[in-house]
Amino acid sequence: MASQHRDKFGRPIVAVTGMGMVTSLGAGKAENWAALTAGRSGIHTITRFPIEGLRTTIAGTVDFVPVEPFCAPMLSERLATLAAEEAIGQAAIGSPGDFPGELFIAVPPVEMEWPQREALAKASGQAGDITYDDLLKAAGTGDFAPWHNLFLFGTVADRISERFGTKGSPISLSTACSSGATAIQLGVEAIRRGETEAVLAIGTDGSVHAEALIRFSLLSALSTQNEPPEEAAKPFSKNRDGFVMGEGAAALVLEDYDHALARGARILGIVAGCGEKGDGFHRTRSSPSGAPIIAAIAEAIADAGLTPDAVDYINAHGTGTPENDKMEALGVTTVLGERAVHVPISSNKSMIGHTLTAAGAVEAVVSLMTIAEGRLPPTINHRVPDPTIPLDVVPNEARDASVTCVLSNSFGFGGQNTCLVFTAEPVT
């Protein structure tokens, strides 16, 4: 009879047995970890498209994964594939093309992009003013049929599912900038329900094109301190002025702990708790009281069967926008109380930028590596501390620390707040 481990609430325990990631710092966990702990930035001046006329000209794009010509769903799919290959390879689960579980994947919302619109306009033969009637006329030739599937919202998930042989109907999801965390949460819930013994949870985002950047720019969300690029992302600093867009992907193989033990898998860590809370205050801003953020943090810790005292490191959402960092600090100090000033909290986004849809998954992998390696990645570019944020942000340099419980925060437009708690083995 196999062992029957359960958490404090009598639920199956969710282990992580494989992880993969790719960001502007490189492909793979090892390369990313080395760069993150060296305090290196992946932010650079954009070369993918012209930057003349833009207020923000920098991003953490992934330029070493060739997708020519660039197209967001294609790069997002490539990044997800790289991360999933690494994660499944490490987990050594199933057989190639036959992953024994479900897929939950956070993908950026897709849409037709300008090169395609321009091609349709040209094919229409219209010499005068172009309207959508002309584009529709060109579409009707059938010459552009493959673009139908390319720009469906479910296609990236379908292709990942087919490639890795995941089971059932794959879920594509978005909770804006907390999407990666939500993918993990959905996977945790499926395993706790006993519905599946393994889950492939992915967050991916390769969507930095001109219009995507301009949209955030028009909402005044982006840093405009373009020179030098690697110093633009300044989470928790007094002179922070917005986030920097980034690209990347991360994949985690989640597995019923007993299932993982039975097959002799190496346990990389435990997803102990998940918390979430909606906020109906405003489309882009948090409730001034911080109540929803506080509730999400508190719920994640409670769902792990722990108290705030157990948290010994926080992987911050830490976007570097004036609003986010202020509200996140409020949430953390409220839940952790007097202890908050002694609990290190750092932002990976200071180095890789905000990988948007992927961020929650990328930061989950970094959180688990922090536990495994006993070293805290820093918040770089921290030269002007914000006196209203009295936290230990692990400024500028990595630090050794024994960590057994990490809180990872993710917050997004539309009132999305999702927090995860990761712990080390052994489970108790």
Partner 1 sequence: MTREVWITGIGLVSSQGEGAEVHMGAFDGELAPKVDAERFAPFVVHPAVPLEWDRQIAKKADQRQMEPWQRLGVYAAGLALEDAGAKGDAELLGRMQMIVAAGGGERDYAVDGQILSGIRNAADPGVFLNERLMSDIRPTLFLAQLSNLLAGNIAIVHGVTGASRTFMGEEQCGVDALRIAHARIGAGQGDIFLVGGAYNAERPDVLLIYEMARLLWKDAFASVWDRPGEGGGFIPGSGAAFLVVETREHAEARGATPVAALQAVVSDQVRRSIGAVGASVEQLWERAAGEFKPISGAILSGATGIAGITEEERGALAKLMPGAPVHSTGDIFGHMIEAQFPAGVALAAAAIKDNYFRQAVVTSVGHMRGEGLAFLTAV
Is residue 135 part of the contact set for partner 1 (CB under 8 A)? Answer: yes
Q: DSSP letters of 135-149?
A: HHHHHTTSTTHHHHH
Examine residue 289 and tell whether it contacts partner 1 (CB under 8 A). Answer: no
Interaction residues for partner 1, span 19-58 (CB under 8 A): 49-55
Terminal Cα-to-Cα distance of the chain (whole angstroms): 20
CA neighbor of 23 nearest in space, from 346, 408, 395, 366:
366
Minimum separation from the CB atom of position 44 to partner 1 (A): 18
Q: Using CA atoms, how far apart are residues 317 and 331, in angstroms rounded to an integer?
A: 12
Q: Residue 232's Cα: distance from chain center in Å? A: 20
What are the DSSP calls for 313-353, one per residue?
EEE------HHHHHHHHHHHHHHHGGGGGGS-EE-THHHH-
- Strands (E) in 33-146, as ranges, are 44-45, 58-59, 102-106
Judged by CB under 8 A, the residue of 144, 224, 310, 385 near partner 1 is 144
Q: Which is nearer to partner 1, 75 or 419 (CB)?
A: 419
- Closest to partner 1 by CB, 212 vs 343, is 212
Q: Tell whether residue 130 is a contact of partner 1 (CB under 8 A).
A: yes
Catalytic residue, from 274, 317, 382, 419: name it: 317
Query: Would you call 259 a catalytic residue per the annotation?
Result: no
Identify whether 354 is a catalytic site residue: yes
Does 168 engage in binding with partner 1 (CB under 8 A)? yes
Q: How far is the CB of 306 from partner 1 (least distance, A)?
A: 19
The SS3 call for residue 211 is helix
- Which residues, numbered 169-228, are part of the site for partner 1 (CB under 8 A)? 169-176, 182, 186, 189-190, 192-193, 195, 210-211, 214-219
**Encoded amino acid at 143, one letter:** D
- Residue 350 or 417: the one with the smaller Cβ distance to partner 1 is 417
Q: CA–CA separation, 236 vs 322, rounded Å?
A: 8
Q: Any residues with CB less than 8 A from the CB of 128 and at least 6 apart, and which?
A: none
**CB nearer partner 1, residue 328 or residue 386:** 328
Q: Does 278 bind partner 1 (CB under 8 A)?
A: yes
Nearest to 317 by CA among 220, 426, 380, 235: 235
Of positions 38, 65, 151, 385, contacts partner 1 by CB under 8 A: 151
Nearer to partner 1, 254 or 394 (CB): 254
In the complex, what is the shortest distance from the CB of residue 218 to partner 1, in angstroms, rounded to a whole number? 4
Choose between 364 and 424: whose C-beta lies nearer to partner 1: 364
Backbone angles phi, psi at 211, to 5 degrees: -70, -35
User: Minimum CB separation from partner 1 for residue 399, in Å?
Assistant: 34
Catalytic, 317? Answer: yes
Near partner 1 in 324-383, by CB under 8 A: none
Q: Which of the residues 44, 71, 177, 259 is marked catalytic?
A: 177
Q: Among all residues, which ones are annotated catalytic?
A: 177, 317, 354
